[in-house]
Structure 1
């Protein structure tokens, strides 16, 4: 990836959660109890995952979010700081820190229930945005806040439209880049008219669409799947940074797919991504090629 004199500035506005993950042989059916699980507590939330990934990929990242006045909130702030993320715009509020309850099976597939908690109090009232910085958001914040953010951001605005929900024109028309998986793309038909949309297809790779027309495609990178929870967030961070750093669409997609492959091979929702800190092309990463 082209090197610049200073790291690309990225602000992530979004959720911060504690992830409680039970690893089981298979996912439970409705009404069924599965035994033999192993429990993990990890830093999570789509916003924090993306901010952490972007920082570990070499960007200068600040996080805009909220946590509770509890031990989980303290832990999440510390986790972001250790990843090199600026947390001056992470508020501490009276709501409990957001929590994701996750079940992951032996194949890495998952079921997730999210309790938003403090994420409902994320605010940009006292946040300034520079024209030179890139802003990335997700829909684990309110749609009203996302619209306000789109109106206030003067520079490049990227949106991970997940969880899927209808997008108002003010958000759809403003976003310079929208990132979704194939299920979300099917659930948001208005994306066919968006200026630039990245769609991930899991083991089939990813595509970039301009006004509904495919302009680039990249195959998935083969890897051992351990946990898919943070893979999409790592992909979002990598693709946003790759495109903003000047890579052409196909190479940007290939780089993001490589980062996603590194993520699914890690049990944590916020993988280290150490192999890819210089945005090297896929063929330059022997462990992933």
Structure 2
């Protein structure tokens, strides 16, 4: 088992916080169909908060930039981050509802999600102090559940200070060229890569994305992940770590990204970092929920 570093990786996450409202069903309903579920949970989530918690549990010193609402979910979301060791000094409180994600998970662990932005929609740019926190990090983790002007402003701030930007393009959609220009590492899953490029072969899609960013890691679910760079477009494949039983894949990608950022910050080569992140992701899919499923460092190292 590896020993934790004497100085943790310092990461900043600018992203969403949502309360996940999760219904568990034997089979997801078709359009117009009503089905009976067998359980329901409310679990703190949001792609930004998920990545922050995953990274903190994996051993990083993490600061979260985002917003929660003044409803009953706001304090719970803030508390969940703090309980995992995430610094919430730059997590704003916005009048009104917090973000929510309405999730259906079937008995195979597959999910479908509807996100309501709530307070996340108020994060339209950086506020005083945000750039300082970004400048002090090894890397800035970004997703697309906040307004694009804020994501782009944060990425530009990172570039000004020589901080690595790691962008998860989810939910997938058209991204402004000015954001891609200041992205160092893009981490789509195979479906997001296809949506961004129109190419359904994930390796061809990854290579096409190199026209816009210098490095790409495409996650391939049970098939593992692949890494390409402009300097070496031939893919590096890393297999998935076996996971049984799979009960909920909701936060598998966010767990992978959070752990990957920690490993890279500790100086692991990309192949080793991807393998370590795959172990973290394998542990997460064997547990219910988003933030509640994420493993601690000792579990990742042991696996």
**Normalising to structure 1: TM-score of the pair?**
0.92
| Distance in 2 separating the partners of 1:132 and 1:74 | 26
Distance 1:279 1:36 in 2: 32
Provide the residue aligned with 1:276 in structure 2. Answer: 297
In the alignment, what sits opposite 2:179? 171
Mapped contact 2:23–2:37 kept (Cα < 8 A): no
Q: After superposition, where does 1:132-147 map in structure 2 within 5 Å?
A: 132-147=137-152
Structure-to-structure mapping, 1:142-157, within 5 angstroms: 142-153=147-158, 154=161, 155-157=163-165
Please name the residue that 1:259 is paired with: 280
1:240-259 to 2 correspondences below 5 Å: 240-259=261-280
Return the offset for 1:147: 1.2
Q: Deviations over 1:248-288 (max 9, x none)?
A: 111111111111101101102014544534853xxx52xxx
Say whether the 8 Å CA contact 1:51–1:63 is kept in structure 2.
yes
Aligned to 1:5, the other structure's residue is in SS state: coil
Give the equivalent residue in structure 2 for 1:227.
248
Partner of 1:206: 225
Q: CA deviation at 1:244?
A: 2.2
Task: Determine the C-alpha separation between the residues in 1 that align with 2:88 and 2:108.
Answer: 34
Give the Cα–Cα distance (whole angstroms) in 1 for the partners of residues 293 and 229 of structure 2. Answer: 32
- The Cα RMSD (Å) is 1.7
Aligned-partner Cα distance in 1 for 2:84–2:293: 9
3-state SS of 1:188 partner: helix
CA-to-aligned-CA distance 1:177-196 (integer Å, 9 cap, x gap): 11110010111126242201
Residues 46-72 of structure 1: per-residue CA shift (max 9 Å, x gap): 000110111101100111010111110
Q: Report the equivalent of 2:205.
A: none
CA offset digits 1:1-29 (Å, max 9, x no partner): 68543111111100000000000000100
Question: Is the 8 Å Cα contact of residues 189 and 218 (structure 2) preserved in structure 1?
Answer: yes
- Identify the range of structure 1 (141-150 vs 120-129) with the bigger mean alpha-carbon deviation: 120-129
Unmatched 5+ stretches in structure 2: 198-207
Structure 1: tracts of 5 or more residues without a match: none
| 2:126 aligns with one of 121, 124, 127 | 124
Per the normalisation by structure 2, the TM-score is 0.88
User: Residue 85 of structure 2: SS of its match in structure 1?
Assistant: coil
Aligned partners of 1:277 and 1:139: how far apart in 2?
Answer: 30
Partner of 1:40: 41
